[in-house]
Chains A and B, each alone.
Chain A
Amino acid sequence: MALGDIGYTESDLRGMVRKWVSADRVPKRVQVKDTSDFFRVDYDDVVMLGGVPYFVRNNEREGRFGLEDEPKFWVKRAIDLLTGETKVLKWVFREHFEARIGSLVFECVRSPQKEARILELVRGRKDFMQGTTERDSAGHPLRILDYIRGRTLSQITPMLGSDHEDFFYNHFPIVLDEYIGIVEAIRFLHQLGEKHGDIRRDHLIKDETTGRYRWIDYDFNYRHGESRFAYDLFGLGNILVFITGRGDVTTNRTLADSPGILDRLSSDDVNIVFHNRVANLKKVYPYIPESLNRVLMHFSAGAQVYYETTEELLEDLGEAREELERR
């Protein structure tokens, strides 16, 4: 791309870069790259989006379930050279694939237009990642997201308290309130007919500036069956079990830490999908109130009824919250 086309000279851009990064990070040459192909956009390049120059930094990474972080080449951190704000640029990366949970296979898609649509719906909300959408040079919707400084729920929760009992009595009520807020945010989406699509604990970042969790990454969609939001609710259930257990309480860990407890568990007590995770946490931590454990049991292999809406879940959580307060 010719620099003259964008209204800035290379010297202008280097001057702007100098303003926001330390001297040793200012590149000798600044290249303005076309935005249509994320593979051609590298560290230290500049891309123009909506008339704004962005100075590109690293690819974002995503770790899952203890695996090494995977680079996401279509997601790059960048600095808005006009304001100095850190942004996350998310290029169009359409994926159509079959997801598997055990023997169950279902159709999924990564859809940039879905995320763009939700960004509009959640504008100004403190419980969702914020951003705008600009067209890249090929006309595809490229999302410019505010960078959220903070840690994920999966990083924060296991660090609270000295042990589970200390956590449960001294931190859990606040954690549960936060969780209720998290579910209310998803209720907002569902009421508008939208799914989050990829609900999991590392898609929640506690924003350091607000002290509140924000949902991130709304570009997944799944082909739902009879129950449009059941898969989202499954994700919410997993998070609830995770926070209540102060981490995943697995059968392996239980066997190692307290074999006597494992003997008391039946096949109904484990997670309905992940059979190595305990859902009936009251059998492990007897001080968990009955009303809260009843909610957990909706996500267990022994469940006879399932939540279909966030409303149903919130109603039961309200009861659990009240019981916690009475203690």
Chain B
Amino acid sequence: MDTKNSGQPKDKHFLIAVDESESSKRAVLYVADIVGGFPGFALTLLSIIPEPEEDFFDSEEEQTAWTREKLEAANRLLENYRQVLIQAGFTPEKVRIRSCVGEEKSFAEAILDTRCDLSCCTVVVGRHHKSKTEEFLFGSTSTKLIREAKNCAVWVIE
């Protein structure tokens, strides 16, 4: 948690969960637009790699390589978004990045666990435009976040 010197108010800490989608880009730009340049905010950009289930790989090496590649791509993406936010007026030390592998958790659960770890007051995600069938068959992270989040605000950016 980012804090100022003793006696100073704590920063409002936002967690922005992103992937490579356009909706994530919109979420980052929205935060940049709304709070960019204002003091008292800290941001963590989070990317969660889907669980690499062993059944999808021929060998452990292949699975490890896949995970490494995904994490590298996620970190590149996060760094790009970090630069966008810095350009919007956040100081570099106030914008952190974090990537992790989803393991057996859903994306929403992993996001909310991270929110809890970092004591973020607000979670920001982009809204994927899924068809009803797609949401039925595979679920929706933003819907689940809205339903499950406790002690925080959730911004779902159109």
Which A positions have Cβ atoms within 8 angstroms of B? 94, 96, 101-104, 106-107, 109, 111, 113-114, 193, 221, 223-228, 230-231, 234, 272-273, 301, 303, 306, 308
Contacts and interface: CB of A to CB of B under 8 A. Distances in A.
Contacts of A272: 132-133, 136
Interface of B: 50, 53-56, 58, 104, 106-108, 131-141, 144
Nearest to B108: A226
Contacts of A114: 55
Contacts of B135: 306
22 contacts: A96-B56, A102-B133, A104-B131, A104-B134, A106-B137, A107-B56, A109-B55, A111-B56, A113-B54, A113-B55, A221-B55, A223-B56, A225-B107, A225-B138, A226-B138, A226-B139, A230-B137, A231-B138, A234-B136, A234-B137, A306-B136, A308-B139
Q: Enumerate the 6 nearest inter-chain pairs by beta-carbon distance, A residue then B residue, closest first.
A: A227-B139, A225-B138, A226-B139, A111-B55, A221-B55, A114-B55
Contacts of A103: 131
Most buried by A among B135, B137, B140, B144: B137
Given A109-B55, A223-B53, A306-B136, 11 more contacts: A96-B56, A101-B133, A102-B133, A106-B137, A224-B139, A225-B139, A226-B107, A226-B140, A227-B106, A230-B136, A234-B136
A301 B133 CA distance: 8
Contacts of B136: 230, 234, 272-273, 303, 306
B50 to A, nearest CB: 7
A200 to B, nearest CB: 14
Contacts of B107: 225-226
B138 A230 contact: yes
A139 to B, nearest CB: 12
Contacts of B54: 113
A272 B137 CA distance: 10
A-side interface mostly: loop
B132 A227 contact: no
A106 B138 contact: yes
B140 A94 contact: no
A97 to B, nearest CB: 11
A227 B102 CA distance: 13
B117 to A, nearest CB: 20
A114 B140 CA distance: 26
Contact of A226 (B56, B58, B144): B144
Contacts of A106: 137-138
A101 B138 CA distance: 12
B53 A230 contact: no
Most buried by B among A94, A102, A306: A306
Contacts of A193: 104
Contacts of A230: 136-139
A50 B36 CA distance: 67
A225 B72 CA distance: 21
A77 to B, nearest CB: 26
B88 to A, nearest CB: 29
Contacts of A224: 138-139
Contacts of B55: 109, 111, 113-114, 221
